[in-house]
Structure 1
Amino acid sequence: MASATVAAVSCMPSRAFASLPDAPRELAMNNLHTGEWLESCYFDGVSYVEEELARLDHLCRDFRQNEAHPMDRRLFDQLTQIQALIGTQNEVQIISGYRSPVTNAALRARSSAVAKKSYHMLGKAIDFRIDGVAIATVHEAALTLNAGGVGYYPRSDFVHIDTGPIRQW
């Protein structure tokens, strides 16, 4: 991976997002399966930027089927808030975003940890880590949001967040 750490992000003031919900929001993201990387200012301070959301949707696509699906924009907001809570703008490394039903069924056949009715199939979940940040720290920040499901997978080095009911595992 060419870029391990993202320098200061000009679009979003660090640590200020939680108190300034109408501030611009930017994410630097890397899909670990495809090697694709992007930096996106997906909210301009007034509204979501549809072209940027489409770029993020593509990055979060089911790489096995090469199928994109609209991701719940609240996921991107949660990621931005997690970064602000931690005090970092390091890149978000995507393990899994959208999953087609075909991919979800194949993964479920190999692992009991994959839900039959996964929020991934709805574009409402993402498995990720943040470059250079301990996974336990990411997990704690995600729990602090109290904004949906949070799964902790320290052996696999990722955290799951979704926009479903508040719960944790």
Structure 2
Amino acid sequence: MRPFGGGCPCCEGAAHGVPRRGFMAAAVGLALGVASPAIAQGGAPRVLRVRRQVVGDSFSGVYWRDGRYDRDALRQLDTVFRDLSAAELTPMDPRLFDVMSILAWTLDSDETYEVVSGYRTPETNARNAGRSRRVSTVSLHMSGMAADCRLPGRQGLGLARVASELQLGGVGLYSRDGFVHLDCGPVRRW
């Protein structure tokens, strides 16, 4: 049984009430299977600021409060993260937003993420994989669990390093393309 009722254990209470060193220690503890009481008991609202590159759709606000995700906020985020080429959206996994939120918080950044890619239909993903070997044919983008993004004022390498240290999910550095891949899947990096 998961100690946090199915939510992202690394993000429970990781908003602004837990000191960064305490959070980092707790994140490492969670990676080792030990839950931190500071994280388990936290309940501060979770905030995310995102803007979709190309079309300019955006969301800035609270998406989790009082122990639950805000459905209206999640619907707005689903729209921002939709597959632009297929004009299709899917319910995104809210743990992805937790990953992005805690990463920005850890970096002490209130900048808005620039989202390059979010959800991809299987057809869009197959087309992209046909053009580039760097696109996985089993990408978590197709499950609404991944985003390619950048954070203004932060170098991609630094962003990827901090995200990797947090061990909240997968992290890929695409320095040639100027973005970082973040997902809420298994911890791994490339």
Aligned to 1:67: 88
Q: Offset at 1:16?
A: 5.4
Per residue, is there more helix in 1 or in 2? 2
C-alpha separation between the residues in 2 aligned to 1:14 and 1:130? 23
Aligned mate of 1:89, from 110, 118, 131: 110
| Corresponding letter in the other structure for 1:48 | Y
**For the Cα contact (< 8 Å) 2:129–2:136, is it kept in 1?**
yes
**For the Cα contact (< 8 Å) 1:152–1:159, is it kept in 2?**
yes
C-alpha separation between the residues in 1 aligned to 2:122 and 2:54? 19
**For the Cα contact (< 8 Å) 1:151–1:161, is it kept in 2?**
yes
Q: 1:15 to 1:66 in 2, by over 3 A?
A: farther
* Structure 2 unmatched runs, 5+: 1-14, 24-37
Q: 1:31 to 1:16 in 2, by over 3 A?
A: farther
After superposition, where does 1:17-56 map in structure 2 within 5 Å?
Answer: 18=23, 21-56=42-77
Sequence identity (%): 35
User: Structure 1 stretches (4+) deviating beyond 3 angstroms?
Assistant: 12-21
| Corresponding letter in the other structure for 1:103 | T
Aligned to 2:124: 103
State the SS of the aligned residue for 1:64: coil
| Corresponding letter in the other structure for 2:182 | I
C-alpha separation between the residues in 2 aligned to 1:24 and 1:61? 24
Provide the TM-score with structure 1 as the length reference. 0.87
Structure with greater Cα Rg: 2
Q: 1:45 to 1:16 in 2, by over 3 A?
A: farther
Q: 1:100 to 1:58 in 2, by over 3 A?
A: same
Q: Deviations over 1:87-111 (max 9, x none)?
A: 1110011011000011111111110
| Corresponding letter in the other structure for 1:125 | A
* Structure 1 unmatched runs, 5+: 1-11
Aligned residues, how many? Answer: 158
Provide the TM-score with structure 2 as the length reference. 0.77
State the SS of the aligned residue for 1:29: strand
Aligned to 1:8: none
